[in-house]
Structure 1
Amino acid sequence: MIMSEIANDIPPIDKRRARRSFEQAASSYDSVAVLQREIADRLIERLDYIRLEPARVLDLGTGTGYTLDGLSKRYRKARLIGLDFAHGMLRQARKRGHWLRRPACVCADAESLPLADASVDLIVSSATIQWCNDLDRTFAECLRVLRPGGLLMFTTFGPDTLKELRQAWSQVDRHSHVSPFLDMHDIGDALVRTRFADPVMDAERMTLTYERVRDLMRDLKVLGARNATQDRPRALSGRQRLTAVESAYEIHRRDGRLPASYEVLYGHAWTPVQKPVADGIAVPIPAIGGRGRTA
């Protein structure tokens, strides 16, 4: 196993807590997932610049299956697999599309994929890897199931995500109330360590606005995206502390609205035409011309 070398100051995710939150959110998720749909659309659009005709595509962390819709329209002959660790999300995903092209749905953790080696041509993952505790292991699993010349494309969130909410809570207590997110460079380094080829990372900023902080908190709850770190406070926040958070957040109000910032990270990397050998020594990648690369 490739052990993660990412700084250990990021508290681990309580997977049981996270899974339970998403199970509870499955039926209501799409009603508030405006940002998530926009990010997924932008990720799918990036495939316009990729010359790849995959026979099998994995949507890693499919949620309610929104990304599967775009993949189905783009790759009409491909076999689609939707994987998520929450049964409730998969039930929603299963309802999408024509019954003849319903995706295969697999309930599993992204850190331990129940798929055969070299069985997938393309992995697309939108807003999922932030729920993984060992990013090196996650990427190693992606590399394992991808065929030589296959592609991993993903989005996740950077450390400036929900910075206003994090700052407001920091004025009230010292507990972790907002899940932390890895820096773009740490994620790129993990791709390199796991022997992906030609990794590329970039970022963009997106902002949602709200009338009240409680509206933002409600949306996060409906999404199932509540803080699931193991060092989160165990007791419910009292009314007095919530009022204090609302007061602290007010310094960010502009034009009558409260912003909620998101740092959206995009990444992609290729599987080497010859994968690394078992002892961990990388096999040199030969010149591959235009095969399967960005147009």
Structure 2
Amino acid sequence: MIQRIIHKSNDNHDLILIFLGWGTDAQAISTLRYPGCDIMAVWDYRDPSFDTSHIQRYRNIYLFAWSMGVMMAERVLCGHPDIRPTLSIAVNGSPYPIDDLRGIPYAIFTGTLDGLDESSLQKFRRRMCRNKEEYAGYRDVQPDRPIDELRDELRILGMLAKENHTIHSTTLKWDRAIIAGNDRIFPADNLRRAWDTLSTRIRITEDGHLPDWQTIINQEIIDKDYVARKFMRSLPTYDNEAVAQKAIAGHLWDMWRNELACRSPQSIIEAGFGTGTMTRLYMSELKPSHLILWDLCPSDIEFTCTSVETLTGDAEEFMSRQPDTSVDAIVSASTIQWFNSPSGFISNAARALSSGGHLVISTFGERNMQELTQVTNLPLRYLTLNELVGLLPANMRLLAADQEDITLRFDSPKEVMRHLRATGVNGMRGTDTPLSRILSGYPRNHDGSVNLTYHPLYLIAEKT
């Protein structure tokens, strides 16, 4: 494989690692940028070896794999289980890339390989693109690689695909699979079938096979610095405005208290404690000897317990470094939706909990802020309750789960936007929808008022 850093800064501690498709190179993504991240492109799979020394220094690795690159990323991580991406996104590809039901049908792949020449290569590249305009743009940056080289690469990929049916990686769990509804290389129905089989969350787009990388990166990676700035600005107004969040914290505490019986955890970690809404509830009754509070932008709160440790930073990163069986309870209210990999956080939390320890979580479901999703093009990152429960590892036993809708009413869409700013909830990048369109298109009630729906999910689980 060819591995090349296409953007680098000495100040960056995170890496976006992109496994490209067959017949490509890094030219088409040479202008790709994301705050705080170096970017590495991987292509040319004639030699399947991968040098991990280039990526060992990074704090977080955000893995994206496109087309045949999905299989190659799986092979690399299967061979290097020490590489643990913070986020893993498959784009218009399958772990079974040559498969009549879950990838490119065998006959089409064989025909492409047998008939490959300069003319058929350009036809293939046209089919990658959604329309003539996209193809014209791609031609300006398309790879200039010899046809014999591309033929050898495709032949080797065909051989590796046969092996992949038997060595499919269990090391890599994809967070999401993006499927282009207008893909003319990988049939969309086949991709749905492949990812449904693996119980991977799917996001459907209207694109063709060729990704819009900048849009995908902006939508899939959560910029924690950006989120922190939004919440920092909201600190003076948060407690007055966070009506839904206070109700959610109250319900989560009631559920947890019902499961505690006479037990009282001696050590508690709370991820995303904010202004202490949830913290004050459980600390009114529990008296842990050690309380650890994490947040991107913590507020100043005081509690009367033996030891309180407040850390400013990324809870996902902190949890990945938390020692095994080191804490009795891990709490997080209305926070993990801001994580790049909720599944990774829950897996690390299960590892860090002591035997009999409790995982206490609330997040948001697919109806959350449904009014806003009607007028923006932001992808839904929310889980269903079944999906949230499904993230529990085998060593966690579900104690309780619940969901509800909390509907707030406002006089106008402007008041909704003011409310979101006052609670820091608008800390999400990735939409190019103008504010004027959001205000004009926001659904209204008969009396002219508007609603904002919160859809909290609740989960209490115990380490067995």
- Distance between the aligned counterparts of 2:340 and 2:247, measured in 1? 25
- The corresponding residue for 1:95 is 301
| CA gap 1:3/1:60 in 2 versus in 1, 3 angstroms | farther
2:326 to 109, 119, 139: 119
SS in structure 1 at match of 2:392: helix
Q: Which amino acid aligns with 2:449?
A: R
Structure 2 match to 1:287 = none
1:57 deviates by: 1.1
Which residue identity lines up with residue 105 of structure 1 in the other structure? T
1:111 maps to amino acid: E
Instruction: Determine if the alignment matches structure 1 residue 145 to structure 2 residue 352.
Output: yes
Pair 1:213-2:413 in alignment: yes
What is the CA–CA distance in structure 1 between the aligned matches of 2:240 and 2:173, rounded to whole Å?
Answer: 36
SS in 2 for 1:5: coil
Determine which structure has more spread, i.e. the larger CA radius of gyration: 2
2:242 counterpart residue number: 33
2:309 maps to 104
Report the CA distance shift for 1:7/1:184 in structure 2 as closer, same or farther (over 3 A): farther
C-alpha distance 84-141 of structure 1, shift in aligned 2 (>3 A) = same
Corresponding letter in the other structure for 1:141: N
Distance 1:257 1:101, change over 3 A: farther
Q: Which amino acid aligns with 1:267?
A: L
SS in 1 for 2:357: strand
Alpha carbons of structure 1 residues 119 and 26: separation in structure 2 relative to 1, 3 Å: same
Q: Distance in 1 between matches of 2:424 and 2:415?
A: 14
Q: Say whether residues 1:8 and 2:199 are aligned partners.
A: no
Task: Decide whether aligned partners of structure 1 residues 139 and 119 sit closer, same or farther in structure 2, where only a CA change above 3 A counts.
Answer: same
Cα distance per residue 1:89-139 (max 9 Å; x no partner): x2x2x33445x6683211232222253322211111100010111122101
Unmatched 5+ residue regions in structure 1? Answer: 273-295
After superposition, what is the alpha-carbon deviation per residue over 1:4-56, rounded to whole angstroms, capped at 9, x for unaligned? 43433463322222122122222322121111111101111112311331001
How far 1:219 sits from its partner (Å)? 1.2
Whichever residue aligns with residue 110 of structure 1, its letter is A
Contact 1:152 1:270 (8 Å CA) reproduced: yes
TM-score in terms of structure 1 length: 0.76
CA distance in 2, matches of 1:184, 1:138: 17
- Alignment equivalent of 2:387, drawn from 186, 190, 196: 186
The change in CA–CA distance for 1:130 and 1:4 in structure 2 (over 3 A counts) is farther
1:28 match: secondary structure: helix
SS at match of 1:74: coil
Aligned pairs for 1:1-295 within 5 A: 1=84, 3-9=172-178, 11-50=220-259, 51=261, 52-86=263-297, 90=298, 92=299, 94-97=300-303, 103-112=308-317, 113=319, 114-167=321-374, 169-170=375-376, 175-176=377-378, 180-192=381-393, 195-198=395-398, 200-229=400-429, 231-233=430-432, 237=434, 242=436, 244-250=437-443, 252-272=444-464
Aligned-pair identity (%): 26
- Inter-partner Cα distance in structure 1 for 2:311 and 2:441: 43
Q: Is 1:83–1:107's contact at 8 Å kept on the other side of the alignment?
A: yes
Count of aligned pairs between the two proteins: 251
Residues 96 and 218 of structure 1, relative CA distance in 2, 3 Å threshold? farther
Instruction: Report the RMSD for the aligned CA atoms in angstroms.
Output: 2.4
Change (3 A) 1:119 1:102: closer
Q: Structure 1 196/21 Cα, relative in aligned 2: closer, same or farther at 3 Å?
A: same
* Distance in 2 of aligned mates of 1:152 and 1:29: 26
Q: Residues 61 and 82 of structure 1 are in contact (CA less than 8 Å); yes or no, is this contact kept in structure 2?
A: yes
Mapped to 1, the partners of 2:232 and 2:440 lie a distance apart of: 32
